[in-house]
């Protein structure tokens, strides 16, 4: 659990954007989709154990993408199984509205 400095009442910009996924222990970083490969809404970097989620998509899409990438961070590799994990967490699947490769790794 991240601890805030005692002299601040609200999280700093960095703290707000850098959180930890409790399911995998991975860092979560929200980035503008312009910083992700074209058409990609999220990525998991296994080298740095970091989840990237596009910050400029709807909360509905962002939740699914986050749980999809969390699935990868927990060791899921197969895209369909990772989608199934994500939809089990959020109760819906955005994939029918997206091309299969849009969530990327
Ligand atoms: Zn994926």
Token pair recorded at residue 104: 């990327």
Give the distance (Å) from ligand 1 centre to CA of residue 69. Answer: 6
Average pLDDT, the chain: 82
Higher model confidence: residue 15 or residue 49?
49
Determine the distance separating the centroid of ligand 1 and the alpha carbon of 103, expressed in angstroms.
Answer: 6
Ligand 1 centroid – CA 91 distance (Å):
17
Quote the ligand 1 centre to 71 CA distance (angstroms).
Answer: 8
Q: Where are the domains of the chain?
A: 19-97
pTM of the predicted model as reported, rounded to 2 decimal places: 0.78
Instruction: Return left, alpha or beta for 58; rule: phi > 0 is left, psi -120 to 50 is alpha, else beta.
Output: beta
CA of 25 to the centre of ligand 1 (A): 18
Alpha-carbon distance of 43 to 29, in angstroms, equals: 10
E strands, the chain, are 18-20, 27-31, 42-45, 50-54
């Amino acid at each position: 659990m991240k601890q805030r400095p005692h002299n601040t009442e609200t999280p700093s910009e960095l703290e707000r954007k850098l959180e930890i996924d409790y399911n995998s222990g991975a860092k979560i970083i929200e980035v503008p989709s312009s910083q992700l490969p074209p058409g990609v809404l999220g990525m998991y970097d296994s080298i740095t154990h970091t989840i990237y989620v596009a910050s400029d998509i709807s909360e509905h899409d962002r939740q699914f993408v986050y749980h999809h990438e969390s699935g990868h961070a927990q060791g899921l590799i197969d895209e369909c199984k990772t989608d199934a994990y994500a939809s089990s967490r959020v109760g819906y699947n955005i994939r029918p509205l997206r091309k299969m490769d849009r969530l990327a790794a």
